[in-house]
């Protein structure tokens, strides 16, 4: 037990060092406090078995999905932290698994750059979808539901048109609208698989650090959930991650529609 504790101290200090490089001081401080508090709360080995178990469970869910749906399955990737974890898990099960992304003209240039970096690093078998419709530059503020319908929901419908199932990085602690999802969901002939549904924000950062997955530069600026630039704001560490999405509109902290509308 003593050597286990010593190992954990080394592991935690190594993780914090890595996170301070990747995330910058603000997020590093928040995570440092989280890890210290968690360590003090449950200073036994059970807590440290949670992430490896979640990793194995997620890989099994993905592997079962591949077995069931074969080529009619793809992973959705927005290039946020949760997507990158799901993609990384899926690549371990099948390095050539199909991945799709929906980009919009309102995503920050950093997201386009990060996407290209990840495609090259992980040799992603990725298909990119982007709406051909032109939208008014003010639409994100004047009618965000319509903007999301055009730029996110419709291209996602295209992406899943020939699929029977898709894998998402959705997590039930991310926001007020994500509490009631299930690991497997079926809607109108399309199955959605959420392998990291029960992962916490801290699980995500631990997995990113342990696996040295490059971090989108917006996280170093303090963002906790990434979307299009006009609809993504900084929020403090006490609220839910998605509270910075669509601030000042009725959609605040909510959904773009790809998880709530029927895609088929």
Q: What is the DSSP letter of 123?
A: T
| 52 close to 203: Cβ distance less than 8 angstroms | no
Regarding 79 and contact with ligand SF4 (CB under 6 A), the answer is no
For residue 174 the two structure tokens come to 């991310």
Binding ligand SF4 by CB under 6 A: which of 28, 152, 242, 259?
152
Asked if 209 touches ligand SF4 (CB under 6 A), the answer is no
User: Under rule CB under 6 A, which residues in 240-259 are in contact with ligand SF4?
Assistant: 256
The Cα 89–Cα 219 span in angstroms is 21
Asked if 215 touches ligand SF4 (CB under 6 A), the answer is no
Least Cβ distance, residue 183 to ligand SF4 (angstroms):
26
Residue 228 within binding range of ligand SF4, rule CB under 6 A: yes
- Asked if residue 223 binds ligand SF4 (CB under 6 A), the reply is no
Tokens of 26: 């603000």
Active site residue 147: no
Closer to ligand SF4 at the Cβ: 131 or 200?
Answer: 131
Identify which of residues 144 and 169 has a Cβ nearer to ligand SF4 in the complex: 144
Q: Which residue has the tokens 């998402």?
A: 168
User: Does the protein bind ligand SF4 through residue 24 (CB under 6 A)?
Assistant: no
Shortest distance in whole angstroms from residue 95 CB to ligand SF4: 31
By CB under 6 A, residue 159 contacts ligand SF4 = no
Closest listed residue to residue 171, CA positions, set 151, 197, 205:
197
Beta strand residue intervals within 131-226, DSSP E: 165-167, 184-187, 190-193
Paired residues of 130 in beta bridges: 103
How would you classify the pairing of strands 125-130 and 165-167?
unpaired
Question: Which residue's CB is nearer to ligand SF4, number 18 or number 247?
Answer: 247
Residue owning tokens 């992430």: 51
Q: Is 104 in the site for ligand SF4 (CB under 6 A)?
A: yes
DSSP letter assigned to residue 96: T
Q: Which residues in this chain contact ligand SF4 in the complex, by CB under 6 A?
A: 104, 106, 140, 144, 147-148, 151-152, 227-228, 230-231, 256
């Amino acid at each position: 037990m003593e050597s286990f504790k010593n190992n954990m101290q080394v592991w935690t200090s190594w993780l914090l060092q890595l996170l301070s490089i990747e995330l910058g001081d603000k997020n590093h401080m928040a995570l440092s406090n989280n890890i210290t508090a968690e360590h003090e709360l449950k200073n036994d080995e059970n807590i440290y078995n949670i992430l490896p178990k979640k990793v194995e469970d997620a890989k099994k869910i993905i592997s079962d999905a591949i077995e069931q749906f074969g080529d009619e399955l793809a992973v959705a990737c927005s290039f946020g932290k949760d997507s990158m974890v799901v993609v990384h898990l899926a690549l371990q099960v099948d390095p050539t698994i199909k991945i799709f992304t929906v980009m919009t003209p309102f995503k920050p240039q950093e997201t386009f750059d990060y996407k290209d970096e990840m495609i090259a690093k992980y040799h992603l078998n990725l298909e990119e979808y982007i709406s051909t419709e032109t939208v008014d530059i003010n639409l994100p503020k004047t009618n965000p539901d319509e903007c999301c319908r055009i730029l996110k929901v419709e291209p996602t419908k295209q992406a899943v048109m020939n699929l029977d199932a898709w894998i998402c990085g959705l997590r039930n602690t991310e926001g007020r609208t994500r509490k009631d999802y299930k690991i497997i969901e079926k809607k109108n002939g399309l199955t959605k698989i959420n392998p990291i549904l029960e992962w916490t924000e801290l699980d995500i950062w631990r997995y990113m650090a342990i696996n040295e997955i490059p971090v989108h530069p917006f996280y170093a600026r303090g963002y906790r959930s990434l979307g299009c630039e006009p609809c993504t704001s900084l929020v403090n560490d006490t609220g839910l991650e998605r509270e910075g999405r669509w601030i000042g509109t009725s959609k605040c902290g909510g959904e773009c529609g790809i998880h709530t509308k029927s895609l088929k």
